[in-house]
């Protein structure tokens, strides 16, 4: 059975706290959803703001292959004919082939929120759907608060959806707007209302009880043919049902068909793409596509997965475009170290494996955490194996923060590095930059002395470090810092406590994390920053396999 996927990330998802898409973001997401094979894309609330109006103008220029773009709006206002209603006119102005109209189901909302009579609400629904259908639009009717309304007054709730059906709606979407319905009652309600309808039913669930995905799948099992939701479940309050998990479950766990040929295998790509455009952090434990979804830490688990992957994985991670990750910590066993060192071709040396594990345990006792900093672990392996040759050596750094009156603080960092070089030491070139023989002036070594301002100490250090290295390592231009986290380890020490800094970096191909620990937050940040840069350089030189995580 084919199930329609209706995405409302651009409208309902954008109502989530902290979520804000530009017009370009919305167009890029639209194109990707279409590429993967989503059936409907709800672009925005017609006439509600200039951004959505501009989106509907621009989206017509996209060469979409599969998806139908929908505009969203409400039923007409009371006492106004549909042709004169500004909301319905705005829906038509979007020129979308399909319009999604939301109307009231719950008699409480009709009488106490809208403050209209029950019969007038039925007329508002019928007039709105009928008018849009008469103008050649496909009409999807979203029955708002359907399950609460059905629980309170099932006869009236049924009248509202029959009014939409009889006026020309092609599908009725039952909405759990408050997200408070549990699966058993939801299924019972869906089956009951289907007996009153001759057109298909869809489902739209919010996640306030953390069962949005479960409710959506249950409704499909009960006969719904369309499921609405958002990528990553973003949305108001606790969010919407996560279409990423729903699509993966339907495609891989049932006989239902969704998306196009490689759409399911690109779900991880889609998830992270939307997180990036929304400027949100990835949710590590997100089902199917999270970085931790196929991550194994316990030694017993890793030992089993190395032998039979399905012993601790419900699907191969590649089916959704994800990957298996083996975590390393003080809980690790020999199996974890073997799995992690396979790409270094060092997994056959028992003495080295023990040395690596012992070093991990020692460092984690000091506050390091390698399960979230795999790039630092890869560098640790090289150091234990004796294959590590630093790309640069720190001579010294200095960070200065100054304020003058009420002005914003000025942060300046100075970095002096010794950089191994394959040939003769070039002469001094750029003004303000020192180029000389390192140490006693030996050949094959550069010394760079750079200064840079930044928005805080870490940014200033990062900028100065890059300035010192870009001449010899121009590939650093493609690298940037994506996230920065600080954690106090021994809080009992107060402001003298040891801190752990984790930096997430990325380039066009990979994402990687590094860690530094010190009582000095600047030093901890420097250690994590140096690991991030060195990992990038080793990776690009082919001395470390890219993480891809």
pLDDT digits (tens, 9 = 90+) for 236-287: 999 999 999 999 999 999 999 999 989 999 999 999 999 988 888 888 899 9
CA-based R_g, the chain, Å? 29
Q: How far is CA 386 from CA 199, 343, 346, in A?
A: 70, 16, 11
Task: Give me 91's structure tokens.
Answer: 């829906």
Residue in this structure with the two tokens 């006693």, named with its chain if needed: 440
Give the DSSP H or E segment for 187. helix 183-194
To the question of pTM greater than 0.85 for the whole model, the response is no
Whole-number Å distance between alpha carbons of 36 and 345: 37
Residues 268, 186, 206, 170: is their CA dihedral positive or negative? positive
Judge contact between 137 and 99, C-beta under 8 A: yes
**pLDDT at site 302:** 57
Q: Tell the CATH topology of 4-277.
A: TIM Barrel (3.20.20)
Judge contact between 487 and 349, C-beta under 8 A: no
- The vertex-537 CA angle with 534 and 539, nearest 5°, equals 105
Helical H runs in 44-145? 50-59, 86-93, 107-108, 118-134
Where the chain has pLDDT below 50, the residues are 330-331, 423-441, 547-549
Domain ranges across the chain: 4-277, 345-391+478-549, 397-472
**pLDDT at site 373:** 82
Cα pseudo-dihedral 263, 266, 268, 271, rounded to 10: -60
Residues 38, 104, 101, 13: is their CA dihedral positive or negative? negative
Q: Tell the CATH topology of 345-391+478-549.
A: Double Stranded RNA Binding Domain (3.30.160)
Q: How far is CA 206 from CA 13, 19, 175, 219, 251, in A?
A: 11, 17, 8, 13, 21
**pLDDT at site 193:** 95
Q: Give the DSSP letter of residue 301.
A: H
E strands, 195-282, are: 201-205, 226-229
Judge contact between 193 and 158, C-beta under 8 A: yes
Task: Give me 26's structure tokens.
Answer: 């919305």
């Amino acid at each position: 059975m084919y199930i329609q996927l209706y995405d409302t990330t651009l409208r309902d998802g954008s109502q989530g706290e902290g979520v804000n898409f530009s017009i370009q973001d919305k167009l890029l997401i639209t194109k990707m959803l279409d590429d993967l094979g989503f059936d409907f894309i709800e672009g925005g609330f017609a006439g509600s703001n200039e951004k959505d109006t501009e989106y509907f103008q621009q989206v017509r220029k996209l060469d979409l292959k599969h998806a139908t773009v929908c505009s969203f709006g409400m039923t007409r206002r009371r006492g106004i004919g549909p042709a004169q209603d500004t909301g319905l006119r705005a829906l038509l102005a979007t020129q979308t082939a399909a319009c999604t109209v939301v109307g009231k189901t719950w008699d409480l909302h009709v009488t106490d929120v809208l403050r209209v009579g029950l019969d007038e609400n039925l007329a508002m629904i019928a007039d709105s759907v009928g008018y849009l259908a008469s103008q050649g639009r496909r009409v999807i009717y979203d029955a708002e608060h359907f399950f609460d309304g059905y629980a309170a007054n099932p006869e009236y709730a049924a009248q509202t959806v029959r009014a939409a059906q009889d006026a020309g709606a092609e599908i009725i979407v039952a909405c759990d707007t408050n997200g408070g319905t549990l699966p058993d009652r939801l299924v019972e309600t869906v089956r009951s209302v289907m007996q009153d309808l001759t057109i298909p039913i869809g489902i739209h669930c919010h996640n306030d009880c953390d069962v949005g995905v479960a409710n959506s799948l249950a409704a499909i099992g009960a006969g719904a043919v369309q499921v609405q939701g958002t990528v990553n479940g973003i949305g108001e309050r606790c969010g919407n049902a996560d279409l990423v998990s729903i699509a993966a479950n339907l495609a891989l766990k049932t006989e239902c068909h969704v998306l196009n040929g490689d759409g399911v295998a690109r779900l991880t790509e889609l998830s992270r793409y939307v997180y990036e455009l929304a400027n949100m952090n990835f949710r590590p434990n997100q089902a199917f596509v999270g970085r931790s979804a196929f991550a194994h830490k316990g030694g017993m688990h890793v030992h089993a997965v190395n032998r039979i992957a399905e012993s601790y994985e419900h699907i191969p991670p590649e089916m959704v475009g994800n990957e298996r990750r083996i975590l390393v910590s003080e809980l690790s066993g020999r199996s974890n170290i073997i799995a992690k060192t396979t790409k270094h071709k060092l997994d056959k040396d028992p003495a080295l494996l023990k040395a690596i594990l012992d070093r991990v345990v020692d460092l984690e006792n000091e506050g390091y955490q390698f399960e979230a900093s795999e790039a630092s672990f890869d560098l640790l392996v090289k150091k234990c194996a004796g294959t590590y040759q630093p790309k640069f050596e720190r001579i010294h750094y200095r960070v200065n923060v100054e304020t003058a009156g009420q002005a914003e603080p000025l942060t300046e960092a100075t970095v002096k590095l010794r950089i191994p070089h394959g040939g003769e030491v070039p002469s001094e070139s750029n003004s303000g930059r020192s180029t000389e023989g390192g140490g006693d002036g030996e050949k094959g070594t550069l010394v760079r002395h750079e200064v840079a301002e930044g928005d805080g100490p870490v940014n200033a250090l990062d900028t100065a470090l890059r300035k010192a290295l870009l001449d010899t390592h121009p590939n650093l231009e493609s690298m940037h810092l994506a996230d920065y986290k600080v954690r106090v380890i021994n809080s009992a020490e107060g402001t003298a406590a040891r801190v752990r800094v984790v930096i997430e970096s990325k380039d066009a191909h990979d994402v990687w994390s590094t860690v530094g620990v010190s009582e000095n937050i600047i030093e901890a940040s420097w250690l994590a920053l140096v690991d991030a840069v060195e990992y990038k350089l080793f990776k690009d030189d082919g001395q470390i396999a890219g993480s891809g995580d």
